[in-house]
Structure 1
Amino acid sequence: MKVEYFIGIVPPKGYNERIEQFQRKWISKSGVEPHITLKAQGGLTPDKEWIENVKRICGNVSPFQVFLGKPKYFGDTILYLSVDSDELHILHQKIVKGISPSDELIKRYFELDDFVPHLTLGKEQYGENISTPLSKDVLNEMERTAIEELTPYPAFKVDFIRVYELNTEKRRYEMFLDIPLNG
């Protein structure tokens, strides 16, 4: 059985529900709740020894503000809400350095210098969980709808981070552990 983890930041409950309702127009079942990826899978090993490092790092970081912004794309296949927060970049760097994945994993998961904080709305895909195949045209429609339905884009305080674990039976990432920031 494959064990995978990643670390994210969860927007406030009310806004997360808005994003989920928005996504359900195109995606019947998402692989994870809406989140901002803080640390991708690379180096988050099944032995979970990295969790103590992450807790120690978070214990030395004060809560901070994150600002969601207008939709953007990675290439033309992934639509996301932009995220602005210097403190989020700093926390990302501390966690990546504390876990010390290989240079290859850092590159594969677009970390450190390649890190772009984002909240994915949809990506080009086809399959059983997709109500409408997410083609480039559909992503463009999602972008237009997001501008209408998801504004105003909120700012919110981050006072914890969430570790997600892959549930292989459900083919979905689920909450594994919340880690508070110092405060």
Structure 2
Amino acid sequence: MEVEYFIGVVPPKDYLNTIETFQCKWIEQSGVEPHITLKAQGGLTADKGWIPKVEKVCGSFAPFHVSLEKPTYFGDNILFLQVKSTGLQKLHQQLVQEISPSEDLIKKYYELEAFIPHLTLGKEQYGGNISSGLAKKELKEMERLADKELAPYPEFEVNFVRIYELNTEKQRYERYSDIPLDS
């Protein structure tokens, strides 16, 4: 059984609750709390040898600001809030360089030049048993209501990153640990 990790940025608790309440109208339980993916699974191995590298990068990286913005799509099947932050982009690049996953993994997980920071609201369901997938009609309804229920979109300071670990029994990513940025 493979252990999976990724690193994310969590919005402030009150806005996190707002997004979760919004998502619950369509999704019984998402596979993870609302977050902005900072570093995808590539190179984050079960031996956890990469954690000291993450701590090193974060320990010398100053807190920064993130702005959430209007929803848009990847293709027509993944609805997300746009994210603006030069600090987030720089931290992503430093983490990928320090962890140094293979070129294939960088491509697979859309990292470095292909990295588009975002906070996923919902995605279209594909075959199989995906509890967090939506029908196209539901995704369009989610998009229509997002601007009413999630605006005004916040700007917030990021002063830690969160490592998520896949809980295979629950089929859900859960908090493994938080790593502070240099303060």
- Structure 2-normalised TM-score? 0.96
Secondary structure of 1:140's counterpart equals helix
Indicate the residue corresponding to 1:99 in structure 2.
99
Where do 5+ consecutive residues of structure 1 fail to align? Answer: none
Pairing of 1:14-33 with structure 2 (within 5 A):
14-33=14-33
Give the aligned residue type for 1:87: G
Q: Distance in 2 between matches of 1:151 and 1:145?
A: 10
Indicate whether 1:40 and 2:40 are aligned.
Answer: yes
Q: Distance in 1 between matches of 2:70 and 2:130?
A: 29
Post-superposition shift, 1:128? 6.4
Indicate whether 1:115 and 2:101 are aligned.
Answer: no
Indicate the residue corresponding to 2:145 in structure 1.
145
Q: Distance in 2 between matches of 1:42 and 1:77?
A: 23
Indicate the residue corresponding to 1:84 in structure 2.
84
Displaced runs of 4+ in structure 1, greater than 6 A? none
Post-superposition shift, 1:137? 2.1
Indicate whether 1:49 and 2:54 are aligned.
Answer: no
- Structure 1-normalised TM-score? 0.96
Secondary structure of 1:90's counterpart equals helix
What does the per-residue CA deviation read over 1:19-60, in whole Å, with 9 as the maximum and x for residues that have no partner? 000000000011000000000000000000000000000011
Post-superposition shift, 1:136? 2.1
Q: Distance in 1 between matches of 2:139 and 2:71?
A: 11
Post-superposition shift, 1:2? 1.8
Q: Choose which of 123, 131, 134 in structure 2 pairs with 1:129.
A: 131
Residue correspondences, number: 181
Q: Distance in 1 between matches of 2:104 and 2:32?
A: 25
Percent of aligned positions with the same letter in both sequences? 63
What does the per-residue CA deviation read over 1:46-87, in whole Å, with 9 as the maximum and x for residues that have no partner? 000000000000011000000000001000010000000001
**Over aligned residues, Cα RMSD in angstroms?**
1.1
Indicate the residue corresponding to 1:3 in structure 2.
3
